[in-house]
Amino acid sequence: MVLLILLVISIVLQILAAGVAVRLIRTTKFNSSWILITIALVLMCVMRFNEFATVLSERTDGRTNMIVIEWEYYVWVGVATSLCFAVGVFLVRKILNYIALREEQRRNSEKRLLSAVIRAEENQRQIISKELHDGLGPLLSSVRMSVSALSTQQLSDTQKEILANTEYVINEAVKGLTEISNNLSPHVLNNFGVARALNTFIRKLQPMCPATRIAFDPGNMQQVRFDPDREVILYRVVCELINNALKHAGAGTLTIDMRTERDWVTVNVADDGRGFDPEAESDGMGLSNIASRISSIRGELQIDSRPGGGGTRVFIRIHTR
Ligand SMILES: Nc1ncnc2c1ncn2[C@@H]1O[C@H](COP(=O)(O)OP(=O)(O)OP(=O)(O)O)[C@@H](O)[C@H]1O
Ligand SMILES: [Mg+2]
């Protein structure tokens, strides 16, 4: 009785497995190894069913010979099952290769999408920067010229003061505009590359944060130019790391080293501040933007930090093409 129950269970399971396998044939794009494994599973169903019928007939009329399939055919079915399984398993590497290929394709298309988004964002920034610089810039300059051309001789002291204030505000507006336009798309980066652009960025930043000494070593990168999209990504990433160190680390020293070797650029950004847990949840966008930017160009990013004052070290390596 137990044997009969077990046979019924195994037949049901076998039919389910065969059903799933048949449905997966299309998913595996009619992969030969999967078709063979499916056939083997279906044949096993037939065998289990035959065994069930045999055991049942033994119980009912005492006969021991096969009922549904003759013995010889039963052996053939067994041999075919073994063959299908054996060849199918040997060919299973194809399925694994297929899965790996699909995974690779998925990752590649994700990266392509990401770099397209980043490129579109940079293009947009460049357009806005150009519009501000070339459109609003000359307008403000001509307002400044007109205001300075006003004669102050017949003006009262109050009017002179208002005029001086107006000139001051216009000058500030021109300065602000240049700065915004430059932040949107740094002209030094476009014209002279990452090392010079970072140097300019740090020179402007240092006076605003005297508590942290920023040491920048551009290494052999001074005159080096590479793919503009990658230059922008590297520039933005290092700027955000510098901003983070100044904003959160409370560090005494921040060092940035750059090197290029053959087709690779490596950057180390290290501070001696309070450190943090890179795995911790954060509301900020900076670190996740860094990770996605670096991943979009298949670069390497390592953040070595822990809370407790040990500082933070970030290692970046990207390919230049
Ligand atoms: N160099 C660092 N030293 C200490 N803590 C850091 C450092 N860099 C990042 N952190 C910590 O990691 C968190 C996440 O940084 P992230 O750049 O993602 O966000 P944020 O700087 O807070 O905001 P956002 O960059 O969006 O303006 C920070 O809030 C900070 O606590
Ligand atoms: Mg940040």
- Which has the minimum average pLDDT: 50-64, 210-224, 255-269, 273-287? 50-64
Residue 142 has pLDDT above 80, yes or no: yes
Strand-pairing partners, residue 315, are 268, 302
Which ligand gives the minimal distance to the CA of 272? Answer: 1
In the chain, the percentage of residues whose pLDDT exceeds 70 is: 97
Which ligand gives the minimal distance to the CA of 282? Answer: 1
Which range scores top for mean pLDDT: 2-6, 34-38, 77-81, 252-256? 252-256
312-319/213-217 β-pairing: unpaired
Q: Tell me the DSSP string of 71-139.
A: HHHHHHHHHHHHHHHHHHHHHHHHHHHHHHHHHHHHHHHHHHHHHHHHHHHHHHHHHHHHHIIIIIHHH
Eight-state DSSP code of residue 154:
T
The atom of ligand 1 lying closest to the CA of 251 is 3
Residue 77: pLDDT band with limits 50, 70, 90: confident
Residue 62 has pLDDT above 70, yes or no: no
Phi-psi region of 276 (alpha: psi -120 to 50; beta: other; left: phi over 0): beta
Eight-state DSSP code of residue 206:
G
Which range scores top for mean pLDDT: 120-129, 159-168, 236-245? 236-245
Residue 7 has pLDDT above 90, yes or no: no
Q: Kindly report the pTM of this predicted structure.
A: 0.68
Does ligand 1 have an atom closer than 6 angstroms to the CB of 285? Answer: yes
What spacing in Å lies between the alpha carbon of 281 and ligand 1's midpoint? Answer: 10
Q: What is the mean pLDDT of residues 84-90?
A: 86
Look-up: residue for tokens 């100044």?
Answer: 246
Instruction: Write out the two tokens for 241.
Output: 């790391």
Residue 63 has pLDDT above 60, yes or no: no
Ligand 1 pocket check: which of 214, 236, 272, 282 to mutate, most ligand atoms within 8 Å of Cβ? 282
Does ligand 1 have an atom closer than 6 angstroms to the CB of 291? Answer: no
Per-residue pLDDT reduced to its tens digit, 176-216: 998 898 888 888 898 899 999 999 999 989 999 899 999 99
Decide: residue 309, CB within 10 A, 0-12 exposed, 13-18 middle, 19+ buried. Answer: exposed
Q: How far apart are CA 93 and CA 107, in angstroms?
A: 21
Ligand 1 pocket check: which of 236, 238, 244, 305 to mutate, most ligand atoms within 8 Å of Cβ? 244
Instruction: Write out the two tokens for 32.
Output: 């030969």
Does ligand 1 have an atom closer than 6 angstroms to the CB of 212? Answer: no
Residue 61: pLDDT band with limits 50, 70, 90: low
Architecture of domain 187-319: 2-Layer Sandwich (3.30)
Q: List C-alpha distances in Å: 160 to 116, 121, 142, 153, 255.
A: 53, 45, 20, 9, 49
Residue 68: pLDDT band with limits 50, 70, 90: low
Q: Return the domain boundaries, the chain.
A: 2-114, 119-184, 187-319
Does ligand 1 have an atom closer than 6 angstroms to the CB of 282? Answer: yes
Q: What is the mean pLDDT of residues 218-237?
A: 90
285 within 8 A of 240, measured Cβ to Cβ? no
